[in-house]
Structure 1
Amino acid sequence: MDVVFNNTQQIFTVVVIILLIALLLSAFRILREYERGVVFFLGRFDKVKGPGLVIIIPLIQQIVRVDLRTVVMDVPSQDVISRDNVSVRVNAVIYFRVIDSQKAIINVENYLQATSQLAQTTLRSVLGQHELDEMLASREMLNIDIQEILDARTDGWGIKVSNVEIKHIDLNETMIRAIAKQAEAERTRRAKVIHALGEMEAAEKLSEAANKLSTEPNAIMLRYLQTLTEIAGEKNSTILFPLPMELLKGLFSPKNHDNKQ
């Protein structure tokens, strides 16, 4: 009987020693450089500890780890109706990090899920206030608007939103064809305008050249002879050229007629 009692006592002692060692080891926590520990004392907030070795009182104090590194979160594709009633699918990515561990744990149940849901609703709300052309051409402005709104709304959660990037704006096939036709018409319009401007500038230069040539009677003759020289240099078998009336004026002038008589 004494042997059984002694064995039971020894087993009990070993179990107690093991429990004490496990309890003692659970009091030591190691937090990495990018981690912080939010400590609660009997359910009430006590302090934020870390990084390094952290000692807590087992069963009385609890610790919640918080990662302070920048989180890259992909915002799922959202169906957005623009201000000009065009339906598109838009997805984005946001970059944020925890700057206040106490707020991130106490003020919100799950700051990652809360930030994701807020980003989705903000993306739909902001893009719905703009037309399709603005979405396609002014992404930088839209990124800044969404980032500022998210940063202001997540400030109470101890989160800093550093950047927002719109990745894709997906359009249906009908809208893609319409945009292609619009772009083609715009290029045609620009080509016609450029051609008209060229014609106008050419007309202005020709008018200036004509005014300068009219001041010198022999200038038009020199230009005429230069043109004949350029045509003759092309080795053509037949050359057709106009005969200016100025050349005939000298032949039919009264002075030349008197000399013939």
Structure 2
Amino acid sequence: MSIVAIVLIVLAAVLVALALSAIRIVREYERVVVFRLGRLRGARGPGLVLVIPVIERTRWVNLQIDTADIPPQDLITKDNVTIRVEAAVFYRVVDPIKAVVAIRDYQHGVLRIAQTTLRATLGQHELDDLLAHQAAINDLLEQTIDAATEPWGINVVKVETRDVDLPDTMKRAMARQAEAERERRAKIIAAEGEFQAAERLSQAAGVIGREPGALTLRTLQTLAEVASEHNSTLVLPIPIDVLEAARRMAAPATPNGSSVR
């Protein structure tokens, strides 16, 4: 084999290698940012993308939703309570050119912005607000972080505070507060029950007072209920009017219709 043939074979292999290196297969959720001799040429994809070897350089950007786990952050709330909070930020790249050109490492930048925003935002609220309005706090964090990352072509989808760790002394204080609150509600409910019972008893007394024999019937009914449940001797005072009524009913009647005394 001559030298010319060897050179032609080598050149052909080099050309084939260069042609293969010029082909890029970009998936649907990816984009390729192309630089030609250091100058931005735009974002390409998805599908088959041709890149000039040696002259053009590429940066791959993923458009899927990514997650940045914020490590536990120690902060002081507005009411001077020290807490530790963990959170997660869900974001996606909406402008691959900005994500490559405007910032060196957008993933690291999102994480740092999320950490500082978490401490600054939660430090402006009291502990009760953080625990009771967690959804509103998450929305506020989302809006603040999204506004900071918008120049980088990043859209914050969601922010979730996963865990709020309280000191042991604060947990005990909150437990005592919850117990006191339950006792207060129990007393209020008992007082409401006494008030309603008193109203019903007042209405019942009014009904019995309108009929003289109602009190006697109620007394006899109570005696019957007690006697059926308890086998014991009862001493119960009988009203005078009951004895008078019984004596009048037992006295013989006179010819003119009056009873004999």
The alignment covers a number of residue pairs equal to 253
Alignment of 1:41-120 (within 5 A): 41-120=36-115
- Aligned residue for 2:216? 221
- The Cα of 1:140 is off from its aligned counterpart by 0.9
Residue deviations 1:112-162 (CA, integer Å, cap 9, x gap): 011011111111111111111111121111111111111222111111111
- Aligned residue for 1:210? 205
Residue from 144, 158, 161 that aligns with 2:139: 144
Residue deviations 1:62-81 (CA, integer Å, cap 9, x gap): 11110011112211110110
- Aligned residue for 1:174? 169
Q: Given residue 177 of structure 1, which amino acid in structure 2 is its aligned partner?
A: R
CA distance in 1, matches of 2:100, 2:208: 88
Q: Is residue 152 of structure 2 the alignment partner of residue 157 of structure 1?
A: yes
- The Cα of 1:19 is off from its aligned counterpart by 3.3
- Aligned residue for 1:21? 16
- The Cα of 1:230 is off from its aligned counterpart by 1.0
Range 190-199 or range 77-86, more displaced: 190-199
Q: Is residue 231 of structure 2 the alignment partner of residue 239 of structure 1?
A: no
CA distance change for structure 1 residues 240 and 82 in 2, over 3 Å: closer, same or farther? farther
CA distance in 2, matches of 1:197, 1:109: 67
| TM-score, scaled to structure 2 | 0.88
Percent identity, aligned pairs only, is 47
CA distance in 2, matches of 1:118, 1:249: 95
CA distance change for structure 1 residues 75 and 251 in 2, over 3 Å: closer, same or farther? same
CA distance in 2, matches of 1:194, 1:245: 41
The two structures, once aligned, show a CA RMSD in angstroms of 2.4
CA distance in 2, matches of 1:111, 1:213: 84
| TM-score, scaled to structure 1 | 0.88
CA distance change for structure 1 residues 242 and 118 in 2, over 3 Å: closer, same or farther? farther
* Preserved contact between residue 68 and residue 110 of structure 2 (Cα < 8 Å): no
Residue deviations 1:151-189 (CA, integer Å, cap 9, x gap): 222111111111111110011211111111111111111
Structure 1: 5+ residue runs without aligned partners?
none
